[in-house]
Amino acid sequence: MSEGPDEQVKEEILSVVGRMTEVDFLRQNKIRKIVCKTIETTNWTQFQRVLEKLVEEGILQTKSFEGEDVIVTQKKEAESGKKSKSKKKKKEPKDPKVKFMKKDIQVPYEIILYLTRKGKKKQNNIEENTKTSLTFDNETVVALRNKSIITREKESTLSITKTWSNEHERGSEEEKEAYEKAKKQLSSAKAFIVKMVKSFQEHPERFAPKKAGGTFAEQAEEKKRQEEASKKKAKKGSKSATDDDLQRKKKRQRKFY
């Protein structure tokens, strides 16, 4: 039986490999059986010749499996294609009317602790007063989650973001006013943080966490005051005891005639 055209065998090999997307690879013998069953005029010699040419030209890829060269399928590419499509579907277009500006500041980690203490009280105050939002870098967020970490030598990145909706016509006075207002609010938030950092550098003890009874310094002062009071009380008690002894001694020495 004479061989059919190589092009027909080539197309069938590529068709078989292309259909097998459920597996990572195909053994050459399996591909040969399918191709030879479909094209009755082909044989092992022709199949092997066409297959080797496809590999040499880089159309098909091979890899070693259990000491045998197998043909790599398109499974991985098919999966990555599905993922990329799904990502494109999830991605939403940006709203051109929503504007934002952002400013990053390097601050000591203690400032972050101070801002987020007591249910983020200080952070919330700044955000409400300036209509901005404060966020921190990933390393800082992880450090905050780890309650055992009290301090970090590395500085944290604090990001101030101002977002506003611009419904005005492009280039209009209203648009410029909205931009300037947002810029001022961002600057105000930055000023709060800069002032806080300066205060921390001058008086770091003010940013130390408080315990029940006041700051560490206040607790030490209270302890000292209590010790002094105890000493005075003990001294007074000792003097009273001495006076009582003298009175009893005088009574014993008194004579009655």
Average pLDDT over residues 27-46: 85
What is the rounded average pLDDT for all residues in the chain?
78
Instruction: Measure the CA–CA gap between 71 and 28, rounded to whole angstroms.
Output: 7
pLDDT tens column, 147-194: 645 556 678 899 999 998 877 777 788 888 888 999 999 999 999 999
The yes-or-no verdict on residue 84 having pLDDT over 50 is no
Lowest mean pLDDT among 1-5, 46-50, 143-147, 221-225: 1-5
Q: 6-25: per-residue pLDDT in tens? A: 888 888 888 888 887 777 78
Cα–Cα distance between 114 and 126 in angstroms, integer? 13
Stretch 54-78: mean pLDDT: 74
More confident residue, 66 or 27: 27
CB 61 within 8 A of CB 71: yes
- Residue 251 pLDDT: 59
Tens-digit pLDDT profile for residues 25-36: 888 888 888 888
Total-model pTM: 0.46
Count Cβ atoms below 10 Å from residue 111 Cβ, excluding itself.
20
Could you give the residue range(s) of every CATH 3.30.1370.10 domain in the chain? 98-207
CATH for 98-207 (3.30.1370.10, 3.10.20.740, 3.30.70.1400, 2.60.40.10): 3.30.1370.10
The 3 state secondary structure assigned to the chain is: CCCCCHHHHHHHHHHHHHHCCCCCEECHHHHHHHHHHHCCCCCHHHHHHHHHHHHHCCCCCEEEECCEEEEECCHHHHHHHHHHHHHHHHCCCCCCCEEEEEEEEEECHHHHHHHHHHHHHHHHHHHHHHCCEEEECHHHHHHHHCCCCCCCCCCEEEEEEEEEECCCCCCCHHHHHHHHHHHHHHHHHHHHHHHHHHHHHHCHHHHCCCECCECHHHHHHHHHHHHHHHHHHHHHHHHHHHHHHHHHHHHHHCCCC
73-85 average pLDDT score: 51
For domain 6-75, give the CATH number: 1.10.10.10
pLDDT of 74 > 50? The answer is yes
Distance CA 10, CA 5 (A): 9
Q: Are 15 and 59 in contact (CB under 8 A)?
A: no
Q: Where in the chain is the domain with CATH 1.10.10.10?
A: 6-75
